[in-house]
């Protein structure tokens, strides 16, 4: 089984962190390829960053289709390009936010999210609405850490996240915490040990969900709106997407 884990931002160090976390949790026999787009924002912290990164995600799914990937993980907490990516493949495509929300509701009735910056919290709020998890989430909290500080300023960032998780535990009346950034994928065990309640992290949750779907023989439905996009000319910088047809 080959899972292609796509880090939608272009910071290779973060892709490596995400890939290692995915490999640690993967079942024997699961191969993880961790990649980032050739171009785009180095971190995703706004609607603008998200919109641009989504195109890179689609390029990576198209490449994965040629290479025969069995499933895809979109490893950014805004799940950029998720539905568009699903149109391009029969394989399961899992966004780390939706994976974490699903997992958290299986082990608790209420959870809070601890994400990076306050301004990205609205992206998580929109996803909660869109996916139908609004009533399961008590609060979206921010540690006020720019995404790249997770790489550059590891210990300070970790301590800020732990502090915010402890506040969530003590103030929010919750049973679990969802970590709100792909770059937190390697911090789960440390945070769980410090905070003492279940910590759900989306990259690892996505790998296990992808394995489960493949094990069940389930992939993205091609019946209805997730059917392959109708081939058509695309102009200018998007000409490479012209007359796109399924690779398999
Ligand atoms: C993210 C994420 O997961 N990766 C990134 O670059 N930005 N989202 C976030 N809320 O921090």
Same domain, 37 and 9: yes
Same domain, 30 and 150: no
- pLDDT of residue 248 exceeding 90, the answer is no
Q: Show the ligand 1 pocket: residues with CB < 6 angstroms.
A: 9, 43-45, 76-78, 115-116, 120, 147, 180-183
The radius of gyration of the chain from alpha carbons, rounded to an integer in Å, stands at 17
Counting from 1 in the atom list of ligand 1, the atom nearest the Cα of 7 is: 4
Same domain, 148 and 85: no
Ligand 1: distance of its center to the CA of 27 in Å? 26
Element of type H or E holding 126: helix 118-131
The answer to whether residue 185 sits within a structural domain is yes
**Confidence at 133, pLDDT banded by 50, 70, 90:** very high
Q: 95 is written with which tokens?
A: 């966004």
Please, how many CA atoms are within 13 Å of residue 11, restricted to the half-sphere of its CB? 19
Same domain, 46 and 129: no
Counting from 1 in the atom list of ligand 1, the atom nearest the Cα of 120 is: 10
34: domain CATH number is 3.40.50.12500
pLDDT (tens digit, 9 = 90+) per residue, 77-94?
999 999 999 999 999 999
- pLDDT of residue 122 exceeding 90, the answer is yes
Same domain, 145 and 158: yes
Domain that holds residue 226: 2-95+205-241
């Amino acid at each position: 089984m080959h899972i292609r884990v796509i880090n939608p931002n272009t910071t290779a160090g973060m892709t490596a962190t995400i890939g290692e976390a995915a490999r640690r949790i993967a079942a024997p026999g699961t191969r993880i390829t961790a990649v980032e787009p050739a171009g785009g924002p180095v971190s995703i912290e706004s609607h603008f960053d998200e919109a641009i990164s989504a195109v890179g995600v689609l390029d990576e799914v198209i490449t994965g289709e040629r290479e025969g990937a069995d499933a895809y993980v979109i490893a950014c907490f805004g799940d950029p390009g998720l539905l568009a990516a699903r149109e391009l493949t029969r394989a399961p495509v899992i966004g780390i936010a939706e994976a974490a929300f699903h997992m958290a509701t299986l082990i608790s009735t209420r959870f809070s999210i601890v994400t990076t910056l306050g301004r990205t919290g609205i992206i998580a709020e929109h996803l909660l609405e869109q996916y139908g998890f609004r009533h399961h989430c008590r609060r979206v909290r921010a540690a006020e850490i720019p995404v790249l500080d997770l790489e550059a300023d590891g210990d300070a960032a970790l301590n800020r996240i732990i502090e915010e998780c402890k506040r969530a535990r003590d103030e929010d009346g919750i049973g679990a915490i969802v970590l709100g950034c792909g770059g937190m994928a390697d911090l789960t065990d440390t945070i769980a040990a410090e905070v003492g309640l279940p910590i759900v992290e989306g990259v690892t949750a996505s790998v296990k969900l992808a394995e489960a779907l493949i094990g069940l023989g389930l992939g993205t439905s091609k019946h209805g709106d997730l059917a392959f996009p109708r081939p058509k000319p695309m102009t200018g910088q998007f000409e490479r997407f012209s007359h796109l047809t399924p690779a398999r």
